[in-house]
Amino acid sequence: MRKTADLVLPAAAGFVMLLALYMVFVVVPTDSAQGIVQRIFYFHVPLAIMSFLAFGTVAVASVMFLWRGGRTWDRLAHVAAEVGLVFCSLVLITGPIWAKPIWGTWWTWDARLTTTLILWLIYAGYLMLRTVVGPTEQGARYAAVVGIVGAIDIPIIHRSVYWWRTIHPAVLVTREGGTGLVDPTMRATLAVCFLAFLLLFVWLVWVREQSVRLADTMERLRLETLGQS
C-alpha cells in the first residue's frame, strides 16, 4: 500500500495542480471589478482551507494522543502542524499581494487578518515548543494541549467577517447569504483548486510522516544498540 501511495499521491497532486493552473490562467473569466489580480483568490482560499484542515488535524490527533497515547497520533499532530504552518504562511503572503492593488495597502489590522496571524503564531509556537522540549512524553503532552487550544481560533477566523466590521470580503458565502461566485466557471475552477491543494496537503503529510517514522526507527535502533553495548 505504501509503495502505491508513493506513486499515486504525487502523480495525482501534480496532474490536478496543472489542471488547476490551466483553469485559473486560461479558462476562468477575469473578474469585472478587481481585474486579473483576483485570480490569486483561487490559490489564497484553498490555502486557507488547507491550513484549517491541517491545524484541525493537529487538534484531533492531539486529543487522540492524550486519550489513547502512542507515538502514531503524536507524530501525525507534529507533521500536520509543520505542513499547516507552510500553508498558513502562504496565506499570509498571498493575502497582502491581493490586498495591495484592491485595498491600497499590504496589511491592515482587520479582524480576519489579525486572527489568521494569531493562528500562525500559535502553531509556530507549537513547533518551537516541540523543538525545545525534545522527543519526550511530557513535552509531547504539553504540545498536544497547545495544539488543541490553538484550533479554537479556526472558527473565530471563519466567523470574523460576520461578527465584526471588516474590509475582508466574504466571497464563498456573502454576508447576505448568497455567493460571490456567480459564474459557474469560477465555482468549477475553485473546486479544482481545492482538490489540487487537498491532494498536495495529503501528499506532503504522507511524505513527512514517513520521514519522521524512519527517524523514530533509527533512534530506537540506536538506543537498543547503546543498551546492548
SS3 of 147-184: HHHHCCHHHHHHHHHHHCCCCCCCCCCCCCCCCCCCCH
CA pair distance 195, 198, nearest whole angstrom: 5
Which of the residues in the chain have pLDDT under 50? none
Query: Are 193 and 20 in contact, with CB atoms under 8 Å apart?
Result: yes
| pLDDT on residue 170 | 61
Determine the Cα–Cα distance for residues 78 and 136; give it in Å rounded to an integer.
Answer: 13
Count of beta carbons in the 10 Å neighbourhood of residue 198:
16
Rounded to a whole number of angstroms, the CA Rg of the chain reads 20
pLDDT at 213: 86
> Residue 81, CB half-sphere, CA atoms under 13 Å: how many?
31
Sign of torsion, CA 98 104 105 111? negative
C-alpha grid cell, residue 113: 487578518
User: Grid coordinates standing for 5?
Assistant: 501511495
Predicted TM-score (pTM) above 0.85: yes
pLDDT at residue number 10:
92
Encoded amino acid at 174, one letter: T
**Residue 192: beta bridge partners?**
none
For 148-195, how does the pLDDT look when each residue is reduced to its tens digit (9 = 90+)? 999 999 999 988 877 877 766 666 555 555 566 677 898 899 999 999
Residue 55: CB atoms within 10 A of its CB come to 28
- Compute the distance between CA of residue 136 and CA of residue 129 in angstroms, rounded to an integer: 11
Residues 6+ apart with CB under 8 A from 55: 80, 81, 84, 88, 119, 123, 147, 150, 151, 154
Predicted pLDDT at 209: 92
What does the alpha-carbon distance between residue 81 and residue 147 come to, in Å, rounded to a whole number? Answer: 8
- DSSP 8-state code for residue 31: B
Torsion of CA 106, 157, 202, 20, to 10 degrees: -50
Name the 3-class secondary structure at 110: coil
Residue among 65, 130, 58 nearest 87 (CA): 58
Residue 105 has a pLDDT of 84
User: How much is the pLDDT for 196?
Assistant: 97
Instruction: Confirm if 59 and 73 have CB atoms less than 8 A apart.
Output: no
